[in-house]
Amino acid sequence: MMAGKEIPLSHTADKPHVHHHHHEDAQSFVRAVEHASEERGLRLTPLRKEVLELVAAAGKPVKAYDLLDQLRERHGNAAPPTVYRALDFLLEHGFIHKLESINAFVSCHHPAEAHQVPFLICDNCSSAQEVCDERVAELIEAQARAFGFRPQAQTLEVHGLCKNCRKS
């Protein structure tokens, strides 16, 4: 790849295959997670729900210690293991995603569906966009199988500048 040159993620795609339902605001997202938790018989404790609300309300990737600081402002005695246990639960059940390259968390656009998605991460403003195109994950799975590899998880994070930062 040449510096400054844009590369397409898919050479054959006119439009991405989009999941059918996005949750644009934090409250509807939290309600969707509550509903999914009920359907799956999961226990969304008050602390887990509060951490989920903080991640959703952030509107961009948020680090665990930033969540801890916010919880301490509200409760005074929150400890790192408590936050990490809540994050682990939310990750395990697909309600949030962890962006490994920046060690931060974002809410999942589709909390009722198990899926692997790539992210576009802006290196300037730290925004992250979930790429809702099932073909990307399917292509990676197919390539892995072709090599005799059995994938257990996918993490694809593309760094660059978002549209807003490119205009600036």
Question: Any binding-site annotation on 108?
Answer: no
Dihedral of the alpha carbons of 93, 115, 80, 53, in degrees to the nearest 10? -80
Give 78: exposed, middle or buried? Use CB within 10 Å, 0-12, 13-18, 19+: buried
Question: Are 63 and 104 contacting, i.e. CB atoms less than 8 angstroms apart?
Answer: yes
Nearest of 93, 155, 158 to residue 129 by alpha carbon: 158
Tokens read off for 128: 């992250």
Question: Are 19 and 132 contacting, i.e. CB atoms less than 8 angstroms apart?
Answer: yes
Beta bridge partner(s), residue 97: 106
Phi, psi of 35 (to 5 degrees): -65, -45
Residues in binding site for Zn(2+): 122, 125, 162, 165
Residues in binding site: 122, 125, 162, 165
